[in-house]
């Protein structure tokens, strides 16, 4: 009788242990499409944009570079190469904004950022870091297009 009790207890414990580590909502097709590992995560490159060394006061040049900067962000988003972009509020670290780029390697991120006029003109400079985050992060982008009223 004790053996049966222990066998039942072992089966219950095994079932509980398995159910705690197995995701009943797992979608293998979606995970594969997003490049997810077994934890639903993947590598990105996190970019902190800081004030660059170009101290020009030429307003037309600055406006042109930042207009191109916004156009470049839209282009990268359309290509699903950038999944997060946005400015920081005022701070003492000269942090201006951040990107999460949908690439795994710093070198690939550097290539993408060469197309940004605010960065290539050194109005902004980017500090790049490997970052491990949810592979589902790009899935929010289609929803963002449904909630903005004005395009900057």
Q: Would you list the domain boundaries of the chain?
A: 36-144
> Dihedral sign, CA of 69, 74, 80, 86?
positive
pLDDT in tens, 30-76: 999 999 999 999 999 999 999 999 999 999 999 999 999 999 999 99
For the cut 80, the answer to whether the pLDDT of residue 14 exceeds it is no
CA distance to 80, 82, 83, 133, 144, per residue, from 35 (Å) = 13, 15, 14, 11, 21
- Which pLDDT band holds residue 23 (cuts at 50, 70, 90)? confident
Residue-wise pLDDT for 111-148, tens only, equals 999 999 999 999 999 999 999 999 999 998 888 888 88
- Domain spanning 36-144: CATH 3.40.30.10: no
What are the start-end ranges of the H helices in the chain?
Answer: 2-21, 28-34, 59-78, 106-113, 117-120, 141-144
Query: What is the reported pTM?
Result: 0.82
Number of C-beta neighbours around residue 93 at 10 A = 9
């Amino acid at each position: 009788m004790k053996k049966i009790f222990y066998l039942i207890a072992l089966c219950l414990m095994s079932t509980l242990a398995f159910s705690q580590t197995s995701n009943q909502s797992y979608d293998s097709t979606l995970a594969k499409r997003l490049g997810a590992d077994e934890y639903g995560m993947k590598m990105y490159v996190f970019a902190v944009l800081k004030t660059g060394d170009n101290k020009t006061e030429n307003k037309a040049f600055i406006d042109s570079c930042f207009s191109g900067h916004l156009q470049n962000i839209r282009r990268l988003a359309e290509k699903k190469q950038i999944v997060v972009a946005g400015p920081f509020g005022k701070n003492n670290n000269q942090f201006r904004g951040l990107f999460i780029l949908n690439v795994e390697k710093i070198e690939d991120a550097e290539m993408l950022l060469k197309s940004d006029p605010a960065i290539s003109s050194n109005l902004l400079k980017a500090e790049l870091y490997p970052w491990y985050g949810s592979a589902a992060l790009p899935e929010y982008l289609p929803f963002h297009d449904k909630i903005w009223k004005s395009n900057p």
